[in-house]
Amino acid sequence: MTGGAVTAAKAGVVGGGVIGGGWAARFLLHGWNVTVFDPDPDVQQQLQAVLDHARLALPALADTPMPAEGTLRFAKSLGEAVDGASWVQESVPEDLSLKHRVLAGIDSQATASAIIGSSTSGFRPGELQHITEGPVRILVAHPFNPVYILPLVEVVGGDALYRETLERACTVLTSIGMKPVVVRNEIDAHIADRLLESVWREALWLINDDIATTEEIDDVIRYGFGLRWAQMGLFDTYRLAGGEAGMAHFIQQFGPALQWPWSKLTDVPALTEALVQKIAAQSDAQSGHLSVRELERIRDRNLVGMLRSLKERNWGAGALLNEHDRRLAARLTGPAALDADSNGALRLLDICVLPGWIDYNGHMTEYRYTQVFSDASDRLLQMLGMDAEYVASGRSYYTAETHVMHLGEAAVDQALYASSQVLLADTKRLHVFYRLCTAEDDRLLATGESMYLHVDRASGRVCAASDKIVANAGALAAAHANLPRPATAGRRVGERKTE
């Protein structure tokens, strides 16, 4: 399938609830034209709400232009929805006879080459495919809410489906940003919902027996193992628990717990040597190319990144970290400790170069330097008194211009710090010089020079900052006036170094 054909394609979406609406949004935002059929009179309004959410979320995940959004239409009949569609997705309620009726209708009216996906979370393809004649083209494509964000889709073809159809389905799903996991042996509820159902049953027992509330159960997940699972899942996480001794060791060590009457759900497979070795071999194939130390570093880096993003959103474990910051800050006597770096300037930010920051030259890419200096400026402004409340009051500093000089290269995982020297501060302007250095040996990698203007956000006009900020900035500028003026401050692009 060519790129052109994908973007010009039409998807028929049958059932326009939360799941069907999510499918519609994902197709639309990838340039497909979508026609939805759902007899519910509220379908347009519901789908609009899903689409509003999706437009804010899916493009925010891309760093490259998305295709132009496709056209959304609502059909008056099933036939109209599937007419000319190269993909038809069924998302009607989980009722087998209803699914049979709808899928038979789709199959009889869809174009010969169309693929028909069912969003069923529980039924096997074998339970759905027998209703059609001719070559089988119905498969399970089970997505996860919110469909427009979560990439997972379980694809179950069953024995009756041609491999070529399965591959074509995966190509289409990949083209709209999904991660097809092909379930090789069809079972009730596929894979994910088996796991979800087991937790759900145990959770119901915990509530039934008054051990925990819904909130306590959510807390143990979102402050604990949920964070691990979001980036490594179950087995890679336990691989780390096994340590250098490896996966077989871990299973043998923790295996006896299977025999303990912990759970109300105690039917367990016999932990034979063969099963232990099978799991260990699969785990080695999955992650044996990484040492436990490397995997631990990756896990920690992922956790820090996710926690920091939750912190920015002040939610869950991130909200807890914000509270903890306030506790730590309350402990400090007076304003934030003004650490001096080797130049006597203000050390603002300690970072580690992330893998996603590396460009094709193998070094930290250009714009990440500006990002680091910009993050440092946020710290500086905070320190001077520009907090969220101040910004909400309609005032802020805007960056007028920035000059960055690259003097060295930063490699992945390298520890760096940014420091600042205030060159000038008056009521409206703040002129700051930054240095980015290696933490290990204070080697200077880059300098930044920025001019910030204090503005009234509503009018966009430059205006005076609050007395408190002006006083703080002035004090800092006065202290920094004793430092030598940086050699490259005031430099023009292309100026010779000897000038």
Q: Which of residues 347-386 bind a second copy (CB under 8 A)?
A: 350-352, 354-357, 360-362, 365-371, 374, 379
Check residue 413 and report its DSSP letter.
T
Of the candidates 48, 111, 214, 259, which one interacts with a second copy according to CB under 8 A? 214
Quick note: the x/- pattern for a second copy over 159-178, rule CB under 8 A, is ---------------xx-x-
As a three-state string, the secondary structure of 266-332 is CCCCCCCHHHHHHHHHHHHHHHCCCCHHHHHHHHHHHHHHHHHHHHHCCCHHHHHHHHHHHHHHHHC
Find tokens 């992945």 and name the residue. Answer: 412
Considering only residues 81-100, where is the footprint of a second copy by CB under 8 A? none
Least CB distance to a second copy at residue 413 (A): 8
Q: Are 148 and 25 in contact (CB under 8 A)?
A: yes
398 touches 457 (CB < 8 A):
no
Measured from the CB atom, is 108 or 175 closer to a second copy? 175
Based on the shown chain and the rule CB under 8 A, indicate whether residue 126 belongs to the binding site for a second copy: no
| Residue selected from 101, 168, 249, 301 as contacting a second copy according to rule CB under 8 A | 301
- Rule CB under 8 A: say whether 3 interacts with a second copy: yes
Number of residues counted as binding a second copy (CB under 8 A): 190
**Nearest distance from C-beta of residue 448 to a second copy, angstroms:** 9
Q: HEC string of 52-104?
A: HHHHHHCHHHCCCCCCCCCCEEECCCHHHHHCCCCEEEECCCCCHHHHHHHHH
Residues 260, 273, 461, 496: which binds a second copy (CB under 8 A)? Answer: 260
Q: Decide if residue 36 touches a second copy (CB under 8 A).
A: no
Whichever of 112 and 360 has its CB closer to a second copy, that residue is: 360
Nearest to 1 by CA among 168, 117, 128, 160: 168
- Interface with a second copy in residues 393-422 (CB under 8 A): 396, 398-406, 409, 415
Cα distance between residue 28 and residue 55, in whole Å = 10
101 versus 301: smaller Cβ distance to a second copy: 301
Q: How far is the CB of 475 from a second copy (least distance, A)?
A: 19
Tell me whether residue 76 or residue 331 sits nearer to a second copy (CB atom).
331
Nearer to a second copy, 391 or 478 (CB): 391
Residue 69 interacts with a second copy (CB under 8 A): yes or no: no
Is residue 107 a contact residue for a second copy (CB under 8 A)? no
CA dist 172 and 256 (Å) reads 45
Measured at the CA of 199, the angle between CA 312 and CA 95, to 5 degrees, comes to 105
d(CA 10, CA 51): 17
Residue 214 three-state SS? helix
Residue 45 found at the interface with a second copy (CB under 8 A): no
To a second copy, the closest distance from the beta carbon of 79 in angstroms equals: 29
